[in-house]
Structure 1
């Protein structure tokens, strides 16, 4: 395997021999988090593929026509001086490197050293995920150690760069924008050499899926007096993946955690509106508006979507400025880490790549907008009865109603009263007529006399008990639990 060192000016190859031992290693090396997003394979699937149906292209809106306080299309959401290196890094991640490539880079100045190809592991069917991760970690750490040695060479010869080896000379040139003392010594420390998975293929897929919802999302933001550029934040959060679930329990294209989602949406065992792109967009617009009203700065409001408005207000107060460049480059806090420092730059990069996607990827097809009728359910009904009597396809219903949870789709609970059920456009009268024909004794037949709940990431017994209006103790007793430990995917009996 060869590692290509030097992306911009020249290429050098370092022959690296990897001893791939498929047996458990005595000490597991933890790789740095490159992506917080997992995929929930049981989530509603798309009813058509990119190759089917009518092909259209995603037009860029005219941002200049917006009439929003403190908004100037010539300056708002443009790359501020001093942030170019951050935005350029993320443009490379979104527009050049794929998920088959792990980019090795400096954490402070975002210099790209090289990338590690993991396409062989991504296509390997016979290895467990644990063994794949161990092999990735070995590869990454081997490359990091080599880079650290080169950076130390630069540090020792920084007064006379003519003594540098060709490889060291190349890296020396890449740090031209860096300022400060002991730049190369600090960069050589392994904790300051980071791994980031490329996202080009995910971004391209996100452009396709964005076609379903982006028009409606722009209308929502415009109606609420919010800049429509902000509708591109889901490219940063999830690449418009409806199945996106983070390891801390964030869900949906806007990646709301459960507690924040409950402030703006219905989030319980039957309906989780975080997973509905339209409803969650309304919630995101409200949250971003609150951020802006508190901080009076669009860059800070965007960063607060990741770091929290209170955290960004503290950053501005302690920094003595609202200048996002100064804050991201200089503000230090235990909680203001790599993700928060780079969030605004990620957004600006995603906005650029998506708005001008043909420059980066060529012409791409996008999905047609989702169109539907809505019927408010006046009585609860089981999924099985709904499908039998209205003759609707379950897969289409899942696609149109991503807010309904596994409890409903699995037949363990009813579609609740008050839920706005989406059905295929143009069939509302026929649907209502057929719905009247459902016998009252079959509306609540779930196929099981027991109520269940599948534990989601971020759940605990207290939140589950509150969602189902029962006590923690009753859940423990019904499931023979001695403590409070539960795991994602565990199925609980709800008394």
Structure 2
């Protein structure tokens, strides 16, 4: 199985309080664990966002690019569709469409070598353009994402149709399922330095009121359980902010912080808040660009065949859910995967390291996923285990 890391941009956009600099070029997550792109593929389907008129806050223009953000969105469209992870651009942090130079990494191997080249090119640009110190300090490097976006579209095929169903049932616009591209590039193993986790990059304090996290099970890492929570959170954001651009921005920045800004500056125009000199001080780079990134992935995914040529989806995982009638060790679960540890992890990313690494039992009543062709074998094995436990308890009594 090929290992693939999550988008650097996606990691940076996890939180406006990210602890690393805008120039970090190494992904701050556990690598993706998934099959190669040519394995288990199926025909890709362009998204269909029709029949949503009664959905929360929906209209034909609900997800049109806000006036004044066109150049910002185009910058991110280019990042997702033009530049690969072997290159990137040095641009102005406040005016992202101002690109000073394209940097190529194809002959460089280590992150240290890449960072050194970035620093060198920045100095050369500052000297060449005779920049003052504030302008030079606004230079930022952004790694290209074209190949990662292609891979993310492939991996999304495992879950996107079920995710759309969850959002439709919640009457939340299905366009919003594409936030997972921005948050994690559909990397189910995405873990940020600040604690966000899973394809929706949900923070622990956000998940705890919904009883998503225990010592053995973290449902933030279960793609569909996390999607259910994301739909609830976005619905709450919209109820507070009454605008999808603001509600989406609130997913990153925090809805209370966005609400405070709209009250202070007496506007619900996201473009105005981003451009306003005073209000932008309340926004980090990630928050200012979060909605533009979302707009960009909507555009790129919708027209993926035009941007990338041949596009395929992964087939959905051939899995079946099973509610454990008794506690089970992870090593016994892996037996139902013929000993394939990586496959067991892909099917069950919600099991924590206490279970997968330290040998703690998976608690009784936990829902796990097993291969469909091993479902009956698993049931028989569990029935034997239950009888054995019952016999032991009887002998003890």
Please say whether Structure 1 and Structure 2 have the same fold, judged by a TM-score greater than 0.5. yes
Moved more, 276-285 or 57-66: 57-66
Corresponding residue for residue 72 of structure 1: 59
Q: Unaligned regions of 5+ residues in structure 2, if any?
A: 1-19, 391-397
The separation in 2 between residues aligned to 1:261 and 1:36, in whole angstroms, is 27
1:437 aligns with 2:357: no
Give the Å deviation of 1:258.
Answer: 1.6
The separation in 1 between residues aligned to 2:334 and 2:294, in whole angstroms, is 42
1:368 aligns with 2:302: no
- The structure with the largest alpha-carbon Rg is 1
Contact 1:37 1:247 in 2 (8 A): no
Contact 1:253 1:275 in 2 (8 A): yes
1:119 aligns with 2:106: yes
The separation in 1 between residues aligned to 2:250 and 2:301, in whole angstroms, is 22
1:145 aligns with 2:145: no
Contact 2:329 2:361 in 1 (8 A): yes
Q: 1:394 to 1:335 in 2, by over 3 A?
A: farther
Corresponding residue for residue 208 of structure 1: 154
Q: 1:93 to 1:223 in 2, by over 3 A?
A: same
The separation in 2 between residues aligned to 1:232 and 1:147, in whole angstroms, is 36
The separation in 2 between residues aligned to 1:53 and 1:392, in whole angstroms, is 19
Corresponding residue for residue 189 of structure 1: 135
Moved more, 361-370 or 333-342: 333-342
The separation in 1 between residues aligned to 2:322 and 2:21, in whole angstroms, is 48
Q: 1:323 to 1:54 in 2, by over 3 A?
A: closer
Q: 1:428 to 1:142 in 2, by over 3 A?
A: closer
The TM-score, its normalising length taken from structure 1, stands at 0.69
Partner SS state of residue 366, structure 1:
strand
Corresponding residue for residue 71 of structure 2: 85
Decide which of 25, 30, 45 is 1:40's aligned counterpart: 30
Q: Which has the higher contact order (CA 8 A, sep 6+)?
A: 2
Output one character per residue of 1:373-404: Cα deviation in whole Å (capped at 9) or x when no partner.
2221122121234455x675444432211101
1:401 aligns with 2:348: yes
Give the Å deviation of 1:431.
Answer: 2.6
Corresponding residue for residue 253 of structure 2: 307
Decide which of 265, 269, 273 is 1:323's aligned counterpart: 269
Q: Unaligned regions of 5+ residues in structure 1, if any?
A: 1-29, 125-131, 154-184, 444-495
Corresponding residue for residue 269 of structure 1: 215
Contact 1:101 1:119 in 2 (8 A): yes
Contact 2:354 2:360 in 1 (8 A): yes
Give the Å deviation of 1:215.
Answer: 0.2
The aligned length equals 368
1:136 aligns with 2:83: no
Partner SS state of residue 229, structure 1:
helix
User: In proportion to residue count, which structure has more helix?
Assistant: 2
Decide which of 226, 231, 237 is 1:280's aligned counterpart: 226
Contact 1:58 1:211 in 2 (8 A): no
